[in-house]
Amino acid sequence: MSPNEKMWGGRFDGTGDPAFEAFNCSLGFDARLLQEDLEGSRAWARALGQAGVLEEGEVEQLVAALEQLGTELRDDPTPLSQSAAEDIHGFVEHALQARLGDLARKLHTGRSRNDQVATDLKLHLRGQAAELCAGTRELMSALVDLAHDTAELALPGHTHLQRAQAVTAGHHALAYVEMLGRDVSRLEAAQVRSDTCPLGAAALGGTAWPVDREALAADLGFGAGPTRNSMDAVSDRDHATEVIFACSLLMVHLSRLAEDWIFYCSQEAGYLRLGDEVSTGSSLMPQKRNPDALELVRGKCARVQGDLTTILTLQKGLPLTYDKDLQEDKECLFDALDTTRACLQVTTTVVRSARYDAERCRAACAGGFMEATDLADLLVQAGLPFRDAHGRVGAAVRAAESKGVCLADLDASDREQHLPELAGVDLASVLSVEACLDRHDCLGGTAPHQVQAQARAWKERLQA
């Protein structure tokens, strides 16, 4: 492409080095912003018309041509991949010139690619964040359904990867619903903070034409109006950074769920079985059943965290206002969005396919002395200070462990030595898994009816 064909070519006589031309070109990835660039251009044409820069008929021609271009490229995007344009803004301008000639050359009056791309990104993130929120809610809904179905299913709870206390599988599922709910709120809050329109900031000092930026912002659906400082407007990438951060934390939550369930699916635990649709086998070992879907989700978390590091480091020490460094914001942003969306979809399928082995879960709850804290609480009810009760039960655990029995099966001498306050109490009954679960009957606790109540509440919130 000759210098005169470039948006900025008037200053130059010679052609660019081919390697630099390829290095400088961003159309390969910012073509994704086509529809947003067209939307912003239509709004800018209307704003120039209201400012008296364009005649009404010229505005109508420009808007119609931009709409037609968007429809054609939505049906067949091939021209984008065949174009020699430097970026999506140049592509649109050249395509418009092919349709309208010199009229198209008027459209860029008073604006810069700097405020264009900032506007395009915000418009794009508006839709992308909404999609991520919808995908996250879909996963939450799958987990809520699982929680409802497993609200009474006892499952070993762990601290330090050691069996700690019995919980229910439903309670475990709802823990991730809580995390994902916060992820949705972060995405929504990021959109609230980015709800200002940069268009009209021009290159850095604001447009020199009498454009009504309030009306322009309203035309593009920015509820908080135009940006208030043109230098900040063209260099701000907080909106992209916040969305990548929200994706990173969301991916951490998906990775933690994946880690839990990879262990649950292991032969060592055997609590859970994933459906064939999200499992794979081994090319050598016929017996293998691998949770590859979850392992990939866990692995892809690293990619999105890398995207966050990229965009944060990109802005570190970057002087005001626009610098070409900011061209590097898009690939990490788009990768974070695409990876997170794919992981949400796959994880939802995993959850829908999962089935707990109730007998295996219950058997696991019978070992590991997970009832020990409940036994200490019973001693407290009988009048002991908790610290004394804790010590007594610790000694009882040692005795039971040495004899290979559970706490409920301690012989009379051990009970007399360690648990005299509970003489006559049916330990097998009060220390059963069901009894232990029922005792944790606080708001947010793992008692089955509390889990059912929380599952119902979440279902109502998601439906609303």
- The whole-number pLDDT of residue 5 equals 66
DSSP state of 226: B
Question: pLDDT by residue (tens digit) across 61-94?
Answer: 999 999 999 999 999 999 999 999 999 999 999 9
Q: CB–CB of 342/252 below 8 Å? A: no
For residue 21, what are the CA distances in angstroms to 17, 18, 350?
6, 5, 45
Which residues partner with 175 through β-bridges? none
Q: CA nearest 93: which of 50, 47, 34, 48?
A: 34
pLDDT of 13 reads 72
- Average pLDDT of every residue of the chain: 96
Nearest-angstrom CA–CA distance, 455 and 312? 38
User: In the structure encoding, which two tokens stand for residue 223, read together?
Assistant: 């509820």
Q: Measuring CA to CA, which residue among 128, 124, 118 is closest to residue 187?
A: 128
Paired tokens of 346: 């796959």
pLDDT (mean) for 121-145: 98
CA distance linking residue 227 with residue 220, whole number of Å: 13
In this predicted structure, what is the pLDDT of residue 270? Answer: 96
As a whole number, mean pLDDT of residues 382-393 equals 97
Does residue 55 have a pLDDT over 60? yes
Element containing residue 157 per DSSP (H, E): strand 154-159
**Average pLDDT over every residue of 436-443:** 96
Does 182 score more than 70 pLDDT?
Answer: yes
Q: Which of 140, 136, 141, 149 is nearest to 451 (CA)?
A: 149
Distance separating alpha carbons of residues 464 and 445, to the nearest angstrom:
24
- For 55, the token pair is 């005649």
pLDDT value for 67: 98
Neighbours of 402 (CB within 10 A): 9
Residue at token pair 């799958």: 142
Q: What is the distance between the alpha carbons of residues 310 and 117, in angstroms, rounded to a whole number?
A: 19
* Cβ pair 29, 91 in contact under 8 A: no
CATH number for the domain running over 364-463: 1.10.40.30
pTM higher than 0.85 = yes
Name the catalytic one among 2, 185, 266, 282. 282
pLDDT above 70 for 132 = yes
**pLDDT tens profile 331-358:** 999 999 999 999 999 999 999 999 999 9
What's the one-letter identity of residue 412? A
| H or E element in which residue 298 lies | helix 292-315
Range 210-237 average pLDDT = 98
CA–CA gap between residue 171 and residue 152 (Å, rounded): 9
| pLDDT at res. 15 | 77
Among residues 160, 283, 402, 413, which one is catalytic? 160
Residue 190 has pLDDT above 90, yes or no: yes
pLDDT of 11 > 80? The answer is no
Tell me the average pLDDT across 155-184: 97
As a whole number of Å, the CA-based R_g of the chain is 31
353 belongs to the catalytic site: no
CATH architecture of residue range(s) 114-363? Up-down Bundle (1.20)
Q: What is the pLDDT of residue 83?
A: 95
Helix residue ranges, H only, 15-151: 18-24, 27-30, 34-50, 56-75, 78-82, 88-100, 113-149
Any catalytic annotation for residue 282? yes
pLDDT in tens, 13-36: 777 888 999 899 999 999 999 999
d(CA 282, CA 273): 17
Q: Could you give the CA distance from residue 88 to residue 3 in angstroms, rounded to a whole number?
A: 17
Strand (E) or helix (H) holding 167: strand 162-168
Contact 167, 365 (CB under 8 A): no
List pLDDT tens digits, range 413-436. 999 999 999 999 999 999 999 999
pLDDT of 237-276, one tens digit each? 999 999 999 999 999 999 999 999 999 999 999 999 999 9
Q: Which CATH number fits domain 18-109: 3.60.15.10, 1.10.3720.10, 1.10.275.10, 3.40.50.300?
A: 1.10.275.10
Q: Looking at residue 1, what is its pLDDT?
A: 53
In the chain, pLDDT over 90 holds for what percent of residues?
Answer: 94
Give yes or no for residue 304 having a pLDDT over 90. Answer: yes
Domain segments of the chain as ranges = 18-109, 114-363, 364-463
